[in-house]
Chain A
């Protein structure tokens, strides 16, 4: 009767994602049977699963690019690299989470499956050209994060953070979905390749509709990547969420959102004459708002929230440079910067998470006073990661910013380069403010307390430290590993 021929599926392309998914599932199962109050087996299973996925990804690094599952899943070097970054971020976050959660008195086993599934959502986002897949990935990522943000149930600010994130995130998702609907309406496809085809018809109404959809989608992605003016949730949510969640959110969610944004933008280069000038202003606004607003903050996590906004602005600038001159500028700057941003920001959050003790946690600048005395290693990691965030040579942050700067000049976008340089100078103030609090300022009458560093935290810190230096000193080899992703 009907000749149903299911399309051939390359299951290897989805193996890493499936592995991560199963790891989360396994974690949840163990959570049900584990001995009370002991998460060790979950942690170990999670780390093992993530590591396995990481190595599968690494093995596929040089594999041929292609799509499977009717264009739902895409495999290319860019996607694999970002997936590796996501898995790595989750791995490091889990490393320092257990100790933190215990000190914070919220050692719930569900943290691990949720973080892992959130990672899975991110992995789906960065490895697909299908708008539906991207949306589903985004929702998986976000919904897990909504729960994680409210993990510290006893704390009002954690609750507030989760609720704010949920409300505004839903609002943004609505924008995104509405945009996807419009794009589908205009092009008849949820695959990004359809956008270009529809645009090529040169039909004015189609183009208007497409662009309206694009604009709506950009609002959604802008929210997720914390671009101004869709950034306002960031400091509030960062501050309220448990520190390990914030760290995971800052690094992981940023990678995923930027990855998806990059997919959408680079697939619609033909439309760029329309959206490039608009995003140009978004980038400038983001860099300015993020950096200036951070100046007057007193809470470390809030400062890092604004720092996350500024970094989104830098990366957006890098994307714009790539899109403007795709022949000359590869996407490797973006990947490199995301890598270095992930390690340096995770490093800072790992150190900050030390401040939790006996259910209480101080995250104001003054709570960091005397940190270098409490733990020289933590102090050292903090200062190195901050130096990298500032962009001081020998660190990955320097190399990344330098490359963005270079790209901007090559792409003839000097104004963005100038804003990048000037706002980077402004950022020195608040980053040094954190370093000052940890190294110079004296402790008050009652010294802030912090738990001793456990092994997981130490490993996480040292990993970030090494990562920052490796990317700063061996920037070129790392770039070669990333490869010139020129389209």
Chain B
């Protein structure tokens, strides 16, 4: 098989995107909603599935090669040629990119399939799949591109698609806000990302003489991370650390790390397949891919690596704690995602880049499963997302229920000692082992990697605990709580509850930038409210009977469940995943790292205890259903849970500082700096100019005599000046 096939991988989603964009609406309107959507649905799934098939072929071809030449660069066309710089449109086929390609297209195809069912009632059916296919295309560009420019294009492209999809139901103001929030917060990450990239370019450009025979491809990975470049980085440790930290800022934005994670929970406003694909399995792991791609830079900087570890650990813990205060099933999963991403960064900081990507892979399996499962639950429960309305759903949703149970066990890291474990067990184990066992991420002898791993172990316990809470509240317990909602009275009730967790956002609605009706005028706001009211027609109440989802939706669940059970086990055999990414487990600079601390067995014991312990505690608390202390009455909640529900006030303070503070700053710069300062200067200058003009105009009396007088005076002046100049010149000559 030919590596040229990679253009098929990249081209199919683009083709799908074009078909959806240009023919989707027409096909659906001509063939009628039902059959049209069916056709377009398949036309959306097939390109991704086809890309997956081609990617499998390429990966197998790649695997046949010797470990050291598993990197093929394919160039499609010469893209940018300015002076001596040459940026071709080129892709890099190597284990890292192909791993991601398989995840993106494989999981992507499953989620697309699921979405054909989930979105079946959607009016803008083909718009949804337009964005989805475009997202896949951009994500592929991100991971496949062989230079920083393509990486950036992909990076921004997926950001755009994420924005479009979060705000897919844009008529709901909250969704638009969430989309804006995601987009704006990611700008901060992009600030770091671009600066980091510019600094890399500057480093290369400053030492062009050392690069021979690269045909101006100064931005391509094979040049940027060549041994020559590594030497340049090595001799500038300060700058290298700065680059690493700036790139990590970019990763923090895209991969939702503290302090920039705040956009991801809000991003759950998008349709659930979007949450599964973009905000769990693929896009949010871009940061981990970036760190893997640029690993030599991080290997050269223990300081930056320590920062990565600490941020990762803190994010993991912080998000896990917040998850306890959430009642929205998707919010729980969102914080869980943030927390798991933190895990991945612990691995990358500790030097176990492969373990980070391993967790990306297993997490893609079980988190996609959990999101899709939650989507199925939401689908079955009339789009009510509050777990307090659920309970004993396993009785109604057999397939969804059992697959989600598998996802729950996988994320909790359940295992039978080391003989067999669910997917999460292996990746979590390798992260903790590497972080405990190495001392790479150290500053001044303090091994931050170790402490981060210790936090990670605690988070493992918390993870299995909050996931147990979610599973128990949803699927187990004897009460079917939605039956307690009397028909016709629920709207106010559940609305209130629903809004409780958003209280801070809505509060900020009323004194945000809309004070000047800048973003939305009153009419639009009224329209948005009318729309919201409209949406609550089909509501959950005592008469509701949940139904299992259609085949197109449960099929992906089953496949993902199988992967969640077996994926980790298979990939961990004989270090196959690690050696695939990093042959012989050796890093370019650090060499071979420890996989485990010498107290390996104790660690396995501890993580097993954490997994089972969390489940046990959770079972004891939630076996009877919803405890009073977590019910509808928020005042009965203990202070910790209330604080967790509000993200410990972090999001609110960020929004206050960022939005209101920014608004105040903007108001200041508008009303004072601009209106008084700049306008003052401008108008002043204009006034002065007009004054000068009027003065000239005053000389323009209209009388010929005065014109002639001025001409004569001017002539006398001119001649006098000439003669004066000549006299001076002649005087000087003498």
Question: Cβ of B694: which chain A residues have Cβ within 8 Å of it?
Answer: 296
Contact residue among B689, B715, B730 (Cβ-Cβ distance under 8 Å from A215): B715
Please name all residues of chain B whose beta carbon is closer than 8 Å to the beta carbon of A429 when the two chains form the complex: 686, 689
Q: Complex formed: what's the CA distance from A223 to B711 in Å?
A: 8
Chain B, residues 435-446, CB within 8 Å of chain A (1/0): the string is 000000000000
Structural contact, B730 and A229, CB atoms closer than 8 A:
no
A307-B686 Cα distance, complex, nearest whole Å: 18
B723 touches A212 (CB 8 A): yes
Give B690-728 interface residues, CB cut-off 8 Å to A. Answer: 690, 692-694, 696-697, 699-700, 702, 704, 706-708, 710-711, 713-715, 717-719, 721-723, 725-726
Selected from A163, A168, A216, A293, the residue in CB contact (under 8 A) with B715 is A216
Q: Is the CB of B714 within 8 A of A219?
A: yes
Query: Chain A: which residue is nearest B705 at the CB level?
Result: A167
B729 CB–A CB distance under 8 Å: yes
Besides A215-B723, A230-B714, A295-B690, 4 other A-B contacts (C-beta < 8 A): A211-B722, A229-B713, A294-B693, A295-B692
- Whether A208 lies near B689 (C-beta < 8 A) is no
Task: Name the residue in A163, A233, A235, A293 with the highest tally of chain B Cβ atoms < 10 Å from its Cβ.
Answer: A293
Closest CB of chain B to A161's CB: distance in Å? 11
A4 interface residue per 8 A CB criterion: no
Residue among A171, A212, A293 making CB contact with B719, cutoff 8 Å:
A212
CB of A86 to closest CB in B, whole Å:
26
Show the binding face of A for B, using Cβ within 8 Å.
Answer: 163-164, 167-168, 171-172, 175, 204, 207-208, 211-212, 214-216, 218-219, 222-223, 228-230, 232-233, 235-236, 273-275, 277-278, 281-282, 288-289, 292-297, 426, 429
Contact in complex: A295, B723 (CB < 8 Å): no
Per DSSP, chain B at the interface is: helix
Partner pick for B693 among A172, A211, A277, A296, CB 8 A cutoff: A296
Contact of A211 among B704, B711, B726 (CB under 8 A): B726
Q: A233 to B707, Cβ gap below 8 A? A: yes
The interface residues of chain A lying within 8 Å CB-to-CB of B729 are 273-274
Please give, as numbers and ranges, the residues of chain B lying within 8 Å of A289 by CB-CB distance. Answer: 696
Known: A232-B700, A296-B697. A168 touches B711 (CB 8 A): yes
Q: How far is the CB of B63 from chain A (nearest CB, A)?
A: 55
Q: Is the CB of B718 within 8 A of A168?
A: no
Q: A232 to nearest B CB, angstroms?
A: 4
B723: A residues at CB distance < 8 A: 208, 211-212, 215
Contact partners of B717 in chain A: CB under 8 A: 229
Q: Are B696 and A292 in contact (CB under 8 A)?
A: yes
Complex-state Cα separation, A214 to B704, whole angstroms: 25
Nearest CB of B to A274, in Å: 5
The 4 closest A-B pairs by CB, nearest first: A215-B719, A229-B714, A293-B696, A295-B693
Chain B residues within an 8 Å CB radius of A212: 719, 722-723
CA A171 to CA B706, docked complex, whole Å: 13
Tell me if B718 and A236 are in contact (CB < 8 A).
Answer: no
Task: Tell me the bound Cα distance from A171 to B699 in angstroms.
Answer: 19
Given contact pairs A172-B711, A175-B715, A207 touches B730 in the complex (Cβ within 8 A): yes
> Would B721 and A296 count as touching, CB distance under 8 A?
no
A344 to chain B minimum Cβ distance, whole angstroms, is 22
A218 to B719, CA, bound (A): 9
Chain B contact residues, CB within 8 Å of chain A: 686, 689-690, 692-694, 696-697, 699-700, 702, 704, 706-708, 710-711, 713-715, 717-719, 721-723, 725-726, 729-730
B686, B693, B702: which has the most chain A beta carbons within 10 Å?
B693
Contact of B711 among A208, A214, A230, A292 (CB under 8 A): A230
- B689→A214 contact, CB < 8 A: no
A64 to chain B, nearest CB (A): 36
B689 contacts across to A, CB distance below 8 A: 292, 295, 426, 429
Q: Which of chain A's residues have a CB closer than 8 A to the CB of B719?
A: 211-212, 215-216, 219
Which chain B residue shows the least CB distance to A218?
A: B718
Contact assessment for B721 and A167 in the assembled complex, using a CB-CB cutoff below 8 Å: no
Number of A-B contacts (CB under 8 A): 102
Task: Check A282–B710 contact: CB distance below 8 A.
Answer: no
CA distance A273 to B730 in the complex (A): 11
Chain A's nearest CB lies how many Å from the CB of B85?
A: 25
Residues in B with CB closer than 8 Å to A175 are 711, 715
B708: A residues at CB distance < 8 A: 167-168, 171
CB-CB < 8 A to B697: which residues of A?
293, 296-297
Nearest chain A residue, comparing its CB with the CB of B710: A229
Name the residue of chain A whose CB is nearest to the CB of B727: A208
Q: With A168-B704, A235-B700 as known contacts, state yes or no: A293 contacts B693, CB within 8 Å.
A: yes
Instruction: Give Cα A172–Cα B707 distance, bound, in whole angstroms.
Output: 11
Residue in A164, A215, A230 whose CB lies within 8 Å of B704:
A164
CA–CA, A215 and B722, complex, Å = 7
Residue from B692, B700, B725, B730 within 8 A of A278 (CB atoms)? B725
- Output the least CB separation between B421 and chain A (Å): 67
Query: Residue of B at shortest CB range from A228?
Result: B714
Supposing A215-B719, A230-B711, A232-B700 touch, asked if A204 and B690 sit within 8 A by C-beta, the answer is no
Q: How far is the CB of B304 from chain A (nearest CB, A)?
A: 45
Nearest-neighbour CB distance to chain A for B300, whole angstroms, equals 46
Bound state CA distance, A167 and B717, in angstroms? 21
CB-defined contacts of A274 to chain B, threshold 8 Å: 722, 725-726, 729
In the bound assembly, the distance between CA atoms of A222 and B718 in angstroms comes to 11
9 A–B contacts from the bound complex (CB under 8 Å): A175-B711, A218-B718, A219-B715, A223-B711, A232-B707, A273-B725, A278-B722, A281-B721, A297-B697
**B292 CB to closest chain A CB, in angstroms?**
46
Cβ contact within 8 Å between B725 and A277: yes
Contacts of A164 in B (CB 8 A): 704, 707
| Whole-angstrom distance between the Cβ of B722 and the nearest chain A Cβ | 5
Residues of chain B contacted by A277 (CB below 8 angstroms) = 721, 725
CA distance A223 to B708 in the complex (A): 11
Q: Give Cα distance in the complex from A423 to B697, angstroms.
A: 17
Q: Which residue of B lies closest to A273 (CB)?
A: B729
Residues of A within 8 A of B710 (CB): 229, 232
Distance in angstroms from A142 CB to nearest chain B CB is 15
Chain B nearest CB: distance from A278 CB in Å? 5
Query: A211-B726, A212-B723, A293-B700 in contact; A168/B693 too (CB < 8 A)?
Result: no
Contacts of A232 in B (CB 8 A): 699-700, 706-707, 710-711
Would B711 and A229 count as touching, CB distance under 8 A? yes
- B718 touches which one: A172, A282, A292 (CB < 8 A)? A282
Chain B residue at smallest Cβ distance from A223: B711
Which listed residue, B690, B702, B704, B706, touches A167 by the CB 8 Å rule?
B704
The answer for the CA separation of A232 and B730 in the assembled complex, in Å, is 34
Is there contact, CB below 8 Å, between B707 and A207? no
Q: How far is the CB of A22 from chain B (nearest CB, A)?
A: 36
Evaluate contact between B726 and A207: CB separation under 8 angstroms.
yes
CB distance from B341 to the nearest CB of A (A): 48
Distance in angstroms from B142 CB to nearest chain A CB is 36
Neighbouring B residues of A228 by C-beta, 8 Å = 714
> Quick check: A296 and B690 within 8 Å, CB to CB?
yes
Residues in B neighbouring A296, C-beta threshold 8 A? 690, 693-694, 697
Chain B residues in 8 Å Cβ range of A230: 711, 714-715
Q: A282–B718 Cα gap in the complex (Å)?
A: 9
- When distances are taken between beta carbons in the complex, the residues of chain B under 8 Å from A294 are 693
- Given A236-B702, A292-B692, residue A275 in contact with residue B722 (CB < 8 A): yes
Chain B residues, CB < 8 A from A275: 722, 725
- When distances are taken between beta carbons in the complex, the residues of chain B under 8 Å from A171 are 708, 711
- Closest chain-A Cβ to B285's Cβ sits at a distance in Å of 45
Residue in chain B with minimal CB distance to A290: B696
A-side contacts of B702, CB under 8 Å:
236
Which residues of A lie under 8 Å from residue B726 when comparing CB positions? Answer: 207-208, 211, 274
Q: For A288, list chain B residues within 8 Å (CB).
A: 692
Q: Once bound together, how far apart are the Cα atoms of A168 and B686, in whole Å?
A: 33
Q: For residue A176, give the distance in angstroms from its CB to the closest CB of chain B.
A: 11
Q: Which residues of B contact A281 (CB under 8 A)?
A: 721
Expressed in whole angstroms, the minimum distance between the Cβ of B720 and any Cβ of chain A is 8
Closest partner residue, chain B, to A172 (CB atom)? B711
A403 to B452, CA, bound (A): 64
Chain B residues near A218 (CB-CB < 8 A) = 718
